[in-house]
Amino acid sequence: MPKGNRLKIRLEYLKNRARRFDAGSVLERAKEVSAQHDKPTPVIVADMLWSAVFRDTAFQDYVDWDYAILSRAERDTFMTHSISNHLAMEHDAPASRGIFQDKIEFNKVFDRFLKRRWLDVREASVDDVREFVQTAGTVMGKVPFSNSGHGVHRHIASEIDDWDAFRTQLLDEGQTLLEEYVVQHPVLAEICPGTANTTRVTTFFDGETTHILSMAQKFGRGEASDQQTFGGFYTMLDLQGKSRGRGYDSHNNVHERHPESGVSIPEYQLPLMETVHPFIDEVARVVPDVKYVGWDIVMSADGPVLIEGNWAVGVYENKPSVTGIRTGSRPRFQQIIGF
């Protein structure tokens, strides 16, 4: 992309952030950082603002990646949501983004990689819905246009008495997508059996090769989703699928072991890691003009199952105060994408 267009994207992004600026929220974040790292709040506020304007660092990134304790050189190794947004705007074709925004459209395009049945409630009769749910036993209801786990619900066939009312409820609440519940690998089921624990695999397809940029393992807490809005947390993985340390979230919760199962997070190894790249390579070629994607997969006993793809790639990064590692994944992104 020409430099002029890149500058236009960045200026538009900054303008939109300025419109949404919330001084109270910034101050609360600064107080949180100040208490955690024993630094004056005014200094933190000034640094957060400077980092946002001149270093492409969202306020929550500043908090989550422990920028207050990092040097300038160390900070420059971390991916941020602002940088990720610029990459998505540059490398993901606008005409194809809708495939990833609409979960039903996504399922149509990527059906063979889902490895589970699904149903569009809008096109299904009451009998169709009953047959689908009773056959599956447990299903996930999803709002097609949503993110961060919002609009995801778990439904169990044995708990439904009135199928006509159930279908009406789904439509009223916008849960027009039903999917069979994913049966995950025993290693993941041991950690948290009540939630499908997804692995985020961020990739870049350069037209010939699919590159894995980074990986993170998310863990649920028995709820319908493993997202942080449901109490979930994550740990970064290396490119061999090994955990890089304890788990954490954006609410200062740190987990040496899973709170319910007691399984060690630093000792976690993604099972069947050798199947990930071949699977993701096939997936990334389906819509080749959306080059930069965050894929969510669940590892089953037979290999990866595709959950969704995100063209507006959320960032998962190392947290230095938790892992002791003071560098992030940006150099790999720069090496492969070139920015």
Residue 17 pLDDT exceeds 90: no
Query: How high does pLDDT run on average in the chain?
Result: 94
pLDDT of residue 210: 98
Residues 6+ apart with CB under 8 A from 232: 149, 195, 218, 219, 220, 221, 223, 225, 226, 249
Q: How far apart are CA 83 and CA 102, in angstroms?
A: 24
Closest CA to 225 of 165, 167, 143: 143
User: What integer is the mean pLDDT of 9-31?
Assistant: 76
pLDDT in tens, 112-142: 999 999 999 999 999 999 999 999 999 999 9
Both tokens of 31, joined, read 């107080």
Cβ(300)–Cβ(221) under 8 Å?
A: no
In DSSP terms, 295 is beta-bridged to 201, 309
Question: Considering the chain, what percentage of its residues have pLDDT values greater than 90?
Answer: 89
Q: How far apart are CA 200 and CA 296, in angstroms?
A: 5
Q: What SS3 string covers 38-106?
A: CCCHHHHHHHHHHHHHHCCCCHHHHHHCCHHHCCHHHHCCCCCHHHHHHHHHHHECHHHHHHHHCHHHH
Cβ(249)–Cβ(239) under 8 Å?
A: no
pLDDT in tens, 143-191: 999 876 678 999 999 999 999 999 999 999 999 999 999 999 999 999 9
The span from the first CA to the last CA of the chain, in angstroms, equals: 11
pLDDT in tens, 85-99: 999 999 999 999 999
pLDDT of residue 150: 78
pLDDT in tens, 45-103: 999 999 999 999 999 999 999 999 999 999 999 999 999 999 999 999 999 999 999 99
Residue 21 pLDDT exceeds 90: no
Residue 2 pLDDT exceeds 80: no
pLDDT of residue 151: 87
Closest CA to 82 of 336, 249, 330, 309: 330
Residues 6+ apart with CB under 8 A from 272: 185, 299, 303, 304
Closest CA to 257 of 249, 248, 265: 265
